[in-house]
Amino acid sequence: MEFAEVVRKRKMVRNYDPDRPVPPEIVERLLRHATRAPSAGFSQGWAFLVLQTADERDRFWAATTPEEPTLGKWLENMRTAPLIIVALSNKSAYLARYAEQDKGWTDRDENRWPVPYWDIDTGMASLLMLLTAVDEGLGACFFGIPPAHTETFKAAFGVPEEFAPVGVVSVGYRRADDLRSSAKRGRRPLDEVAHFGQWNQRTSLSED
């Protein structure tokens, strides 16, 4: 599949065929492609918790799901995903890397960082998994673990303290699902989001 087509076809899929597991070779490609993401200082402070068995997935949903009735339909569909990959970031890996001699900093001061690149890099790794899923003919969705359930999740799977869940990628063979209300808003046109040379300076661009 051409890259432009992969990008155009990417969407958040929330309903999967529970009877079709993701083949091991595709799981490996998802993870290998994730590790091709850029990372500041090549710190690579990410980790990926791969959940494939019914027991693993059930423990994940039990540990991370808020008790809100409004989540009923969404959760019912999302639980059909045969593969769940939790993307985690390790801030300490970045602070340690930039305290090394070749980076010139002599401490691990977090205030030196304009934004949390450990989370950004892990997010980019997750996007590569989303795009890989499309290229493999699968659907995928990126979503978060509610903050109040972070510690419960980490305890359920023995996640080390220094790792923080940035997001979760569900993967599987897509089944028909309803267009969510947010998606119905449509994409903002480029002339609203792109600024050339100076803020609010526009140029003519073709829309796909």
In Å, how far are 41, 123, 181 from 85, measured between CA atoms? 25, 12, 26
Structure tokens at 64: 């991370």
Place of tokens 């972070």: 150
Cβ atoms of 15 and 175 closer than 8 Å: yes
pLDDT in tens, 56-113: 999 999 999 887 656 667 788 899 999 999 999 999 999 999 999 898 788 888 888 9
What whole-number percentage of the chain has pLDDT above 90?
68
In Å, how far are 46, 107, 114, 124, 183 from 37, measured between CA atoms? 10, 26, 20, 6, 27
102 Cβ contact partners less than 8 Å away, ≥ 6 residues apart: none
Type of residue numbered 60? F
- For the domain bounded by 3-179, which CATH number is listed? 3.40.109.10
Q: Flag whether pLDDT at 140 surpasses 80.
A: yes
pTM of the model: 0.90
